[in-house]
Structure 1
Amino acid sequence: MDKTLLASAASCALAFAPALHAQDIGTTTSPKDQADVTALASQLQALKSSYAREVRRLRELDMQVQALQARLQGKVPANTLPSEPVAAGAQSMAAAGADHSAPRGSSDHPASEAGSPAEAAQARPTRSIQDALLQEHAVFDRKLTIENGITYSRYDRKQLTLNGFLALDAIFLGNIAIENVESDSLTYNLAARYGINPRWTLNLDVPYLGRKTVYQKGGAGGSAAAIAEEQTTGSGIGDVSLSANYKLFAETGAVPDTVLTFGVTAPTGRAPYGIDWKVIERDNDQYIRFAVPEKQPTGNGLWQANIGASVVKTMDPAIIFANLGYIHAFPRSFGDIDTDPQTRNPGRVKLGNAYYFGAGVAFAFNERTSLSLSFSDKLSAKASLRNKDTPWTKVIGSDANAAAFNMGVTYALNQRTTMVTLLGIGLTPDAPDYTITFKVPYMF
């Protein structure tokens, strides 16, 4: 069939060429010749459009045959993946059938409209790419998605402290202590994504986390060889966040798919301010050498608002994405911000504003599986404290730069369920050493 169409197109082109040559050399043409040229040109355009439609139909039929063969071999369940290409194929076949019933040269059915359903299906990202972008961007063609996720984070930081002075520029007199903080956290996250319309989606994230932190300090009892160790834990609901995504631009030509994000985070978790610390060791002059919190916090204690933007651009065979945003924390008063259980000191806390950005690329291996690689960074300014009738005081060491390299793999288990695996590797001391995340989004 394809060879016949190509032969017909070639013959039309050969018949059309002499007429053009005759015009170039100034040969006088009659109205009948001009009508023949116009008819041949219309026929050639119709044959080209028909050939393009048939090629698209062949591709779609080939995908359906492969899916049926995989089902017969027991590789996939009865609700065959991919569902979207099959539906797109049916739409394009119906559109092609409707076009065959009309005259080929009719201006009421231009060639550009004949293949539009299939072209739209081709332009739409595959299922695996949509699953990957759901973690960094937003997908608007899903009515409701419920996502269950578990994240494990590991943080280990060592610090050398010197308590003394340097004599004769060479001899240190005093205590040398090594402080080590090891933290493990396990977070269960329940998220819901609801698509209001093709431009708006709503997102709700509810975390529940458990933390265990081990504090180690050298120089116990004034001896550099002695090490003291204490462990504290904490668990409970974290800070709940609600956000909305708005599609500003759809991808067309050089314009990337652009989405704006607006969100708010409520301080539903246990705040870190006012938690009593227990003293492990004091000096002879009652100076506290080693103290740890009695329990671990599960939230930051403040209301936060964020605004961000993310873009996605298709660069066959890959898709690149990037995002940036700003987080503002609102000051809040607490009845006690002191760590001493014997003292009650009310005050206000203001976290530093934060900026985040990232970029990455996603590859679709097939309709089920995709791989994404990305870099992310979050820059946080210093926090400030204020007691009653005193000015704001910045907290030394409270600023942070948390950068990470991330790698993710998505696999569609069936038509509605996906398995997402993410690995994050910390690149700066303020970022966790590594994080491992497993998510299972379910589409309704």
Structure 2
Amino acid sequence: MQKTLLATAVACGLLVGLPFELAAQSAPTAQDEAQVQTLLAQLQALKASYAQQVRQLRELDMQVQALQAKLAGKTAPATLPAPGGTPPPAQVAQSTPPTDEGSRAGSTEQAEAARQEAPTRSLKDALQQEHALFDRKFTLENSVSYARYDRSQITLNGFLALDAIFLGNIAIEDVKSDSLTYNLAARYGVSPRLTLNLDVPYLYRKTVYQKGGAGGSAAAIAEQDTSGAGLGDVGLSANYKLFDETDARPDTVLTLGITAPTGQSPYGIDWKVLQRNDDQYISFAVPEKQPTGNGVWQANLGLSAVKTMDPAIVFANAGYIYSKSRDFGDINTDPETRNPGTVKLGNTYYFGAGVAFAFNERTSLSLSFSDRLSAKASLRYKGSSWSKVIGSDANAATFNMGVTHALSQHTTLVSMLGIGLTQDAPDFSLTFKVPYMF
């Protein structure tokens, strides 16, 4: 009994003293509190430093992407992994949650601005063909184009009897022309708003003239072909950016140009007589060679606009070409006479619009419509008044389709197909251009 009471007393004493011992052990000291405060301060400093580094990495990554887009024409260049398996800055920024909503919104706006300022390489290549680029210091462009014309005309010389029977001669005239043009173009960026352009063409033309009704017989056909080759009319122009693209307005460029009559003029070329009527009237004559230029000075004033509508761009242009009158020693097509005089080509208005789509970073497709309206030309023989040339006015409308493909960082292949929509336009034209960017 005494042992039982003694054991009970000892157990009670232990139970009573245990909370005091635990309380004594868990009571924080001043040293522990100071250590906790120090660790908390270090943790906050590391968090602030880490957030700042993440922002800096994000900003640096966007700057690198913008610079790479300007150099290579890409909006989303691939980033290479860093040595030792460390992820690139872009991946670190994407895998790390933003510290605040303000920095995330600012980064999104900057990325969107960078995307709009740097379109894809393929769209920029298409843009250069329809508009102008100012971020390329110097571009040398070689191009070859082929155009095909085929025109037929029926000439009736007689009268209609009984409202059904034609009495007289029926002559069918057919003109088929093929032209091949090589053009060397140089484009130099003077400033972010001004570029200068020089175009030097070299042409080869071959034209086949056919006329039915030779000798009064509708079955007889006379045919003659002529050709000509040489330097074309050299052009010099300048592009000036009026307005940068914003949400409300397109990128707008003003173009001023002048064309010199360096090619073979169509006036003064001798003609070859192939047929004469019974009264010795010339019924069929062709020029001995084909011209390679217009023969007059021309000035061009144009305006073009481009609006980015991701993933495409929409462009439009309009302009006016003024032709200066010029004196020639002979403006008569009769090979037996020589009549000096003055020629004034009709002024031309042109306009067009289209759209370009980017298939990927290197390839794009453009579709456009263009039209040129030319007024009638005028002639004035020496000592006489001006007279209009019948049939010299023209309306040349064309549907164009082009594909651009970046061959390398500096070279692009441009192919364009033009389909004539009116009688005055070529039946079709095919052009290949290879711009090289330095």
2:142 matches 1:148: yes
Matches within 5 A, 1:61-210: 85-86=76-77, 118-123=111-116, 124-210=118-204
Unaligned 5+ runs, structure 2: 1-50, 82-87
- Paired residue type of 1:437: T
Matches within 5 A, 1:36-435: 85-86=76-77, 118-123=111-116, 124-435=118-429
1:32 maps to: none
Question: What do residues 360-398 of structure 1 show as CA deviations (whole Å, max 9, x unaligned)?
Answer: 000001110000000000000000000122111000000
Pick closer, same or farther for the CA change 1:117–1:291 going to 2, 3 Å: same
Distance 1:164 1:185 in 2: 36
The answer to whether the Cα contact below 8 Å between 1:95 and 1:117 also exists between their aligned partners in 2 is no
The answer to whether the Cα contact below 8 Å between 1:320 and 1:361 also exists between their aligned partners in 2 is yes
3-state SS of 2:368 partner:
strand
Question: What do residues 391-412 of structure 1 show as CA deviations (whole Å, max 9, x unaligned)?
Answer: 1100000000000000000000
| Range moving further from structure 2, 131-140 or 168-177 | 168-177
Pick closer, same or farther for the CA change 1:115–1:170 going to 2, 3 Å: closer
- Paired residue type of 2:115: Q
Distance 1:357 1:312 in 2: 14
- Paired residue type of 2:423: P
The answer to whether the Cα contact below 8 Å between 1:261 and 1:309 also exists between their aligned partners in 2 is yes
The answer to whether the Cα contact below 8 Å between 1:318 and 1:362 also exists between their aligned partners in 2 is yes
Pick closer, same or farther for the CA change 1:156–1:350 going to 2, 3 Å: same
Report which of the two structures shows the higher radius of gyration computed on alpha carbons: 2
Displacement of 1:430 in angstroms is 0.1
Displacement of 1:112 in angstroms is 6.7
Pick closer, same or farther for the CA change 1:324–1:141 going to 2, 3 Å: same
Question: What do residues 67-120 of structure 1 show as CA deviations (whole Å, max 9, x unaligned)?
Answer: xxxxxxxxxxxxx96667549999xx989999xxxx9689xx977765676444
Unaligned 5+ runs, structure 1: 1-46, 65-79
Pick closer, same or farther for the CA change 1:302–1:88 going to 2, 3 Å: farther
Displacement of 1:170 in angstroms is 2.2
The answer to whether the Cα contact below 8 Å between 2:61 and 2:90 also exists between their aligned partners in 1 is no
- Paired residue type of 1:296: Q
Distance 1:181 1:96 in 2: 66
Displacement of 1:177 in angstroms is 0.9
- Paired residue type of 1:320: V
Distance 1:126 1:83 in 2: 5
3-state SS of 2:129 partner:
coil
Give the TM-score normalised by the residue count of structure 1: 0.77
The answer to whether the Cα contact below 8 Å between 1:153 and 1:434 also exists between their aligned partners in 2 is yes
The answer to whether the Cα contact below 8 Å between 1:95 and 1:115 also exists between their aligned partners in 2 is no
Pick closer, same or farther for the CA change 1:89–1:428 going to 2, 3 Å: farther
Q: Work out the number of aligned pairs and report it.
A: 371
Give the TM-score normalised by the residue count of structure 2: 0.78
Displacement of 1:121 in angstroms is 3.1
3-state SS of 1:135 partner:
helix
Distance 1:126 1:241 in 2: 30
Distance 1:399 1:321 in 2: 27
Pick closer, same or farther for the CA change 1:401–1:89 going to 2, 3 Å: farther
Pick closer, same or farther for the CA change 1:113–1:94 going to 2, 3 Å: farther
Pick closer, same or farther for the CA change 1:310–1:165 going to 2, 3 Å: same
The answer to whether the Cα contact below 8 Å between 1:246 and 1:261 also exists between their aligned partners in 2 is yes
